[in-house]
A and B are shown apart, each in its own frame.
Chain A
Amino acid sequence: PLISWWGGVQMGPPDPILGVTEAFKRDTNPKKMNLGVGAYRDDHGKPFVLSCVRKAEELITAKHMDKEYLPIGGLGDFSKCCAQLALGADSEVLKSSRNITVQTISGTGSLRIGANFLARFHGGPRDVYLPKPSWGNHTPIFRDAGMQLKAYRYYDPSTCGFDFKGALDDISKIPEQSVIMLHACAHNPTGVDPKPEQWKEISDLVKKRNLLVFFDMAYQGFASGDIDRDAWAVRYFIEQGHNILLSQSFAKNMGLYGERVGGFTVVCNDTEEAKRVESQLKILIRPIYSNPPMNGARIAATILNTPDLRSLWLEEVHFMANRIIKMREQLVAGLKKEGSSHNWQHVIDQIGMFCFTGLKPEQVERLTKEFSVYMTKDGRISMAGVTSANVGYLAHGIHAVTK
């Protein structure tokens, strides 16, 4: 036949986040800045391979291991230390073995397995409540898995901060047994996190509403520089009795982006339930990719389980987080110097890789067209793309489009 099967297939819309990078690449302006995709860059704007990763790779190479298939749930050593990292070594959940943690294809793969699991086994409503806004990919992931999406208020554009009252108000109306997604730290895309006292109230309310909590933790260590501090909300909720679902990514905090290292955890009532859940997770995983890739998980496990590599990692994560914090401070200082009359405190108050500048779409467009500063339309910038060399230029551009 001369007619194609695919004549009716439409061109898919470009991915908004990755599309920014494509446009950036085409720009010939030497001063161009890519503040789109969220991968860490050093102060020279270069990708950063952590020393602990290189050292771990050397150790691994020396061991001459085989390449046999991993179990469906992944590398056991990895799953164990992945759960420990999130929950804390002294976690009661780990002691009673009432969690099941499987290795996944980074954060995306983890969320997708979680979504598939909910779609198949959650007896409650089909609705997953996301904060408004949330990571762009959350919605299609849950949708493709067969869930439906709703939202609760989260970001307050008038303060560029947390709409605590709005969040509580909306959460109080969520039907029982619905799923609520919470960003554990370094909210993406806003960088706005609840304070501990606010987390406590959210926990109480969520308990009262009998909601199923799904934490997305993609930035543990990367937000404050302290892995325990960044996991505080997750651990608090568990202590409060929430049997949570948890997605973890090691893309950012270990710089293992392309190796696809992640974990998915279900906290269950007891070991017996955890075993049943595990058996079903395997049934879900097998027809997608059979079993996960070894390389990144082996690197992560080596780092976490080798004391001096672990210490080195904690230092490096602290270093990366600190550079981000410094850039935030320098950006605000730069804006003041430019003579901006706006309040830019939120740039410092927000945390993690992203900053919701508060810029409107028209301002973003101007920033891109006139200054070759690339960012997503919602005004989000990746602080990782800011360096001491270009922070002044950025301040200048932002001031120019907002004065």
Chain B
Amino acid sequence: MSVFCEVPQAAPVAVFKLSQDFNNDQFPNKVNLGVGAYRTDEGQPWVLPVVKKVEKIIVQDGSLNHEYLPILGLPDFRSSASKIALGEDSPAIQENRVGAVQCLGGTGALKMGAEFLSRFYNGNKNTKTPIYVSAPTWENHNAVFANAGFEDVRPYKYWDAENRGLDFAGFLEDLESCPEHSVFVLHACAHNPTGTDPTQEQWMQIFKQSHCFRRKLFVFFDSAYQGFASGCLDKDAWAVRYFVSVGFEMFCAQSFSKNFGLYNERVGNLTIVARDADNLKRVLSQMEKIVRTTWSNPPSQGARIVSITLNSPELFTEWKDNVKTMAGRVLMMRAQLKAKLQGLGTPGTWEHITEQIGMFSFTGLNSKQVEYMVKERHVYLMASGRINMCGLTSSNINYVAESIHEAVTRVQ
């Protein structure tokens, strides 16, 4: 008699199932616009040249070993990663009130932040605190906060499907009417999955009209695409830095999966901005306890690569170049896709393709049209209509544009 005979089969994670189905498809012109990883114009994964260089440095450095990192991670990585998010000359950093926890990817950073909040925010172990995530949002956000114990994970209005843009009025409404002490998970840039970001003026209004301070709201940024969105690190960090500048204590979960192409090395950083050094110290000491029972200490390889790169002027410059290359190709694909759809006379407006930013685009295709794309055209995208722009190449963009055109004209 097995203890596990009652264990039900869980549904597969959608984005991975999509890739699996794609892999099993024999159609020669199949296109994978699913999972979020960068691809070259040849449709291949791209190990950044600067990463290859640094890996060689590491392998040849006989003084390096595989000893445990400290619980909170590699110190040089943590500090340089936080500088990337907040800016080299961030007043908060100069005031010694910024700390960080090296984590396993952006997911790990969100997890650590969520676990901390569930223990120490808004009282002790107050799992009833509402956690607001955008509608829609990265599907794992819900699970991360729910698994940290939060009972009330709710959506804030974000995507306006009808107008294919930001539902700014709705967003403000939810901000103004949410319970005090609510936690808001904000996408720093390149919103996943819509690719639609507030403008700088809108960010300022979000801060002003929500009366975040008076109403004691907590801001938790998810920054998975810094540099990858516009090609410029500082521009993509504007929202995060703005909120720091107006005086927030906050968390920022950073991922180096995309902007360093280090997906499988799990390089992430939870940047913590506190009121002062003393509060920061106590927060970090409690973070250690949470880390210790989850993974004890983080993996060293990826953090080493990032740290060496960020701390060397030449390598840092080379990295910024590599990032521009990736962002540039995405921008080009956006422009070309829009042009082709407009050229085909595909019904509807396609401005959002170039107005949106980052890896993803919310095409606006409905689930029936998506099904058509997958089944009839072997173009794989998420049921939400989300496509990964990196999946587009000069060889497949015509086929994809035609497929979208067919889906829109044949399926309602």
| A and B co-occur in one complex | yes
Chain A minimum-CB-distance residue to B70: A18
Q: In the bound complex, what is the Cα–Cα distance between A259 and B206 (angstroms)?
A: 42
Residues 37-62 of A contacting B (Cβ, < 8 Å): 37, 39, 47-49, 53, 57-58, 61
**Contact A137 to B293, CB < 8 A, known contacts A5-B249, A288-B111:** yes
Give the residues in chain A near B121, CB-CB below 8 Å. Answer: 5
Q: How far is the CB of B41 from chain A (nearest CB, A)?
A: 16
Task: Identify 10 new A-B residue pairs, CB closer than 8 A, beyond the known A61-B55, A68-B263.
Answer: A12-B282, A47-B66, A47-B67, A105-B299, A112-B295, A121-B7, A258-B297, A258-B300, A288-B294, A292-B104
Pairwise interchain contact A49-B65, C-beta atoms closer than 8 A: yes
A109 CB–B CB distance under 8 Å: yes
Binds A, one of B84-92, B155-163, B284-292: B284-292
Q: How far is the CB of A17 from chain B (nearest CB, A)?
A: 10
B104-145 interface mask toward A, CB cutoff 8 Å, 1 = contact, 0 = none? 110110010000000011001000000000000000100110
Pairwise interchain contact B65-A287, C-beta atoms closer than 8 A: no
Pairwise interchain contact B299-A296, C-beta atoms closer than 8 A: yes
| 10 contacting pairs across A/B (C-beta < 8 A) | A9-B279, A109-B296, A112-B293, A121-B7, A269-B4, A273-B2, A286-B140, A287-B107, A289-B266, A296-B66
Q: In the bound complex, what is the Cα–Cα distance between A255 and B289 (angstroms)?
A: 24
A/B pair count, beta carbons within 8 Å: 235
Q: In the bound complex, what is the Cα–Cα distance between A279 and B275 (angstroms)?
A: 42
Give the residues in chain B near A145, CB-CB below 8 Å. Answer: 293
Chain A minimum-CB-distance residue to B2: A269
Cross-interface CB contact of B283 among A9, A121, A251, A259, cutoff 8 Å: A9
Give the residues in chain B near A6, CB-CB below 8 Å. Answer: 120, 249, 274-275, 279, 282-283
**Contact A295 to B111, CB < 8 A, known contacts A39-B68, A67-B47:** no
B169 CB–A CB distance under 8 Å: no
Give the residues in chain A near B170, CB-CB below 8 Å. Answer: none
Q: In the bound complex, what is the Cα–Cα distance between A70 and B263 (angstroms)?
A: 8
Residues 252-288 of A contacting B (Cβ, < 8 Å): 255-260, 266, 268-269, 273, 275-277, 279-280, 282-283, 286-288
Q: How far is the CB of A301 from chain B (nearest CB, A)?
A: 13
Give the residues in chain B near A30, CB-CB below 8 Å. Answer: none
Most chain A beta-carbon neighbours within 10 Å: one of B7, B68, B103, B105? B7
Cross-interface CB contact of B147 among A1, A123, A268, A287, cutoff 8 Å: A287
**Contact A289 to B282, CB < 8 A, known contacts A12-B288, A68-B264:** no
Pairwise interchain contact A288-B107, C-beta atoms closer than 8 A: yes
Q: In the bound complex, what is the Cα–Cα distance between A256 and B71 (angstroms)?
A: 16
A206-226 interface mask toward B, CB cutoff 8 Å, 1 = contact, 0 = none? 000000100000000000000
Chain A minimum-CB-distance residue to B278: A4
Give the residues in chain B near A12, CB-CB below 8 Å. Answer: 282, 285-286, 288-289
Binds A, one of B10-18, B187-195, B360-368: B10-18
Pairwise interchain contact A293-B288, C-beta atoms closer than 8 A: no
**Contact A57 to B9, CB < 8 A, known contacts A12-B289, A260-B298, A288-B294:** no
Pairwise interchain contact A108-B264, C-beta atoms closer than 8 A: no
Give the residues in chain A near B108, CB-CB below 8 Å. Answer: 288-290
**Contact A294 to B264, CB < 8 A, known contacts A3-B275, A105-B299:** yes
Q: In the bound complex, what is the Cα–Cα distance between A364 and B147 (angstroms)?
A: 41
A116-148 interface mask toward B, CB cutoff 8 Å, 1 = contact, 0 = none? 000001111000000000000100110111000
B61-82 interface mask toward A, CB cutoff 8 Å, 1 = contact, 0 = none? 0000111110100000000000
Pairwise interchain contact B69-A108, C-beta atoms closer than 8 A: no
Q: How far is the CB of B44 from chain A (nearest CB, A)?
A: 8
Cross-interface CB contact of B282 among A9, A140, A177, A251, cutoff 8 Å: A9
Cross-interface CB contact of A1 among B45, B51, B213, cutoff 8 Å: B213
Give the residues in chain A near B67, CB-CB below 8 Å. Answer: 39, 47, 257-258
Q: In the bound complex, what is the Cα–Cα distance between A257 and B69 (angstroms)?
A: 8
Cross-interface CB contact of B143 among A70, A256, A275, A287, cutoff 8 Å: A287
B56 CB–A CB distance under 8 Å: yes
B154 CB–A CB distance under 8 Å: no
A11 CB–B CB distance under 8 Å: yes
Q: How far is the CB of A208 from chain B (nearest CB, A)?
A: 15
Give the residues in chain B near A11, CB-CB below 8 Å. Answer: 281-282, 285
Give the residues in chain B near A279, CB-CB below 8 Å. Answer: 9-12
**Contact A61 to B285, CB < 8 A, known contacts A109-B295, A289-B107:** no
Cross-interface CB contact of A66 among B11, B47, B143, B266, cutoff 8 Å: B47
B351 CB–A CB distance under 8 Å: no
Give the residues in chain B near A105, CB-CB below 8 Å. Answer: 104, 294-296, 299
Chain B minimum-CB-distance residue to A50: B66
A15 CB–B CB distance under 8 Å: yes
Chain A minimum-CB-distance residue to B55: A61
Pairwise interchain contact A2-B275, C-beta atoms closer than 8 A: yes
Give the residues in chain A near B44, CB-CB below 8 Å. Answer: 66
